[in-house]
Amino acid sequence: MKSIISHYFPELSPAQIELFNRLGAIYAHWNATINLISRKDIDHLYLHHVLHSLAIAKATTFSAHTKILDFGTGGGFPGIPLAIIFPAVDFHLIDATAKKIKAVEAIVATLGLDNVTVAWGRGEALKTQYDFIVGRGVTNLTVLYSWVKDKIALESKNSLSNGILYLKGAPFEPLPCAIDLYPLQRYFTEAFFKEKYLVHAYGI
């Protein structure tokens, strides 16, 4: 299934293709001892986790030096696949589960991703500001909004306004800001992406 990444992203460089190809073995190794993703799901790593994460890269392209926080990164998604796609963008991955963060740190080091920093802790306690907060399956949108609304920089330097980019399914909780929905079947034909969306919340 790793070829599915090249199918949807034919512009990848040989170095990027190599990094994506390495993810399967790396995650299989770590998942054998630490439950980074569901054990039943490891055979679907590229479709359910890597390509799902890269829906954000279908919706927008980040300019160099954009600062992105992957809030509740878990096993490194969506941050690690996005960091491979956007090597000039700065990613900060945080999660409150220490054993997962240790594994993510090792994965980032193995891949040599020098545009990624990893931290253990609660994202809502951070004082830094970012252009975008990305995530998937962390919590509902209302709670996430309350945690990150003060962490989004005011000045935008990308085609999309600064804000939250969140991968989820319906329903969509109401937020006191603007919301755009991007159905993932706009980008990917696989049945897995039916009724899955990228939510862009902005004007926060």
Domains of the chain (ranges; CATH) run: 3-202 (3.40.50.150)
**Is residue 182 pLDDT above 90, yes or no?**
yes
- Residue 146's Cβ-side half-sphere holds a number of Cα atoms within 13 Å equal to 6
pLDDT at 129 over 70: yes
Q: At what angle do helices 98-111 and 14-31 cross, to 10 degrees?
A: 150
Q: Are 81 and 17 in contact (CB under 8 A)?
A: no
Mean pLDDT computed over 148-157? 95
Q: What is the pLDDT of residues 2-24, one digit of tens each?
A: 799 999 999 999 999 999 999 99
Q: What's the whole-model pTM score?
A: 0.96
Structure tokens belonging to residue 150: 């003060």
Contact status, residue 82 vs residue 91, Cβ threshold 8 Å? yes
Per 3-state DSSP, what percentage of the chain is helix, strand, and coil (rounded to 5)? 40, 20, 40
- In this prediction, residue 1 carries a pLDDT of 59
